[in-house]
Structure 1
């Protein structure tokens, strides 16, 4: 039973990705994205983000603003000089994910909602998250980490495989939710790239809380995922990983 409410949203919540799903492309093990740190807020150079509006997710007494992303608009904006949409924009418009190229960050996946509901159950008092340093791996819409942001976390790192997701979706969502805060604003860091390469750009032994959901669909990445968590987490930190049973 869900204890949250999503208002006026045309986007459905998708079940966890699987390679058995025909909308999921077969992985290319030879491809990976370079790990990078990005300035916040990220700015789109040639056109505004492909956002058609926003809706709200009510989680207990926390109201999270969720951006409504349009793959069709994104493909149209990437069509430059009448050459057609970019390959990446076509993938976003045609498939849920293509491992090694597009990892599904524009979709709203169900385990992210489940994880946020759990966070609300264990941390209804702001003190649980207040002042904490948090990272979300594979963030996409970043609903769990936005919840922590609104609960008073001091610093949050948002990581997604694709910088395009951070640029078009995550960064605008952070900005919108920041506007509801008063007092000292949390520090925000943005990272993109392959998990196996991120230890070189993300500081180790730093995070009190690590969040991740709907990220374990590719067994080949499990070791990299675990190694990254071990690198990032403080000795007394905790990782919340939500996914369906493999």
Structure 2
């Protein structure tokens, strides 16, 4: 499935949920990719983006004349994308742009856009774009910040995440990828993602680890695209 033209905010708000999407299910490959569930790693990423460390990281991003741009891959409820957008609004001379993509168009009217409007009721919606469909068909464009959570759950998703970061991250930009160290039974995890990222010339930065000693270890990995000489 390829991406259609950008799904406008007004169109997304009028959309009606399709019968194939079931919020009670975590994942139905090729049909529903889990966008109606709030995944725990997305909350880790939100906490980082609102922290002093996160604010300093976002404040140091390159700022082109047209303003900074944030892309969230596999956004679902779009909590990390909204957190990044809100933080950048505080430190940008020009309001940032926010692009959200998810496999299922239903996630926009049911989750992402209501969350955005609740968190930022005065947001300039002309700076927000939504894309539904296979994320490998995401239109060309580079971003200073790319965020993603729980997109590294399988070998295929690790490859796709790394490929998209290589394609859509601006040189000098930053990607923050939140996920579990191991996804048991499906083969994904942080280590495999980093292998794929390295193959595409992405440079590993800091890693924030969440380990309570009882559940699966969660991590947020920073990767960068090297500046072009």
- Scaled by the length of structure 2, what TM-score is found? 0.65
- Is there any run of 5+ residues in structure 1 with no aligned partner, and where? 1-32, 47-73, 79-85
Superposed CA deviations along residues 88-122 of structure 1, whole A, max 9, x for unmatched, are 14xx1441111111000000110000011112222
Secondary structure, in 3 states, of the residue corresponding to 2:160? helix
Among 119, 122, 128, which residue is 1:188 paired with? 128
Deviation at 1:219, TM superposition (A): 1.5
- Counterpart contact for 1:207–1:233, Cα < 8 Å: yes
> 1:177 maps to what in 2?
119
Deviation at 1:185, TM superposition (A): 6.5
Residue range with higher mean Cα deviation, 169-178 or 101-110: 169-178
- Is there any run of 5+ residues in structure 2 with no aligned partner, and where? 90-94, 183-229
Could you list the structure 1 runs, at least 4 aligned residues long, displaced by more than 6 angstroms after superposition: none
Q: Quick check: 1:203 aligned with 2:140?
A: yes
Cα RMSD for the two superposed structures:
2.4
Q: Quick check: 1:40 aligned with 2:9?
A: yes
Superposed CA deviations along residues 123-174 of structure 1, whole A, max 9, x for unmatched, are 3468457852110001111111111222215101011111111232212222
> 1:115 maps to what in 2?
45
Bigger helix fraction:
2
Partners of 2:105 and 2:15 lie apart in 1 by: 13
Q: Bigger radius of gyration, 1 or 2?
A: 1
- Scaled by the length of structure 1, what TM-score is found? 0.61
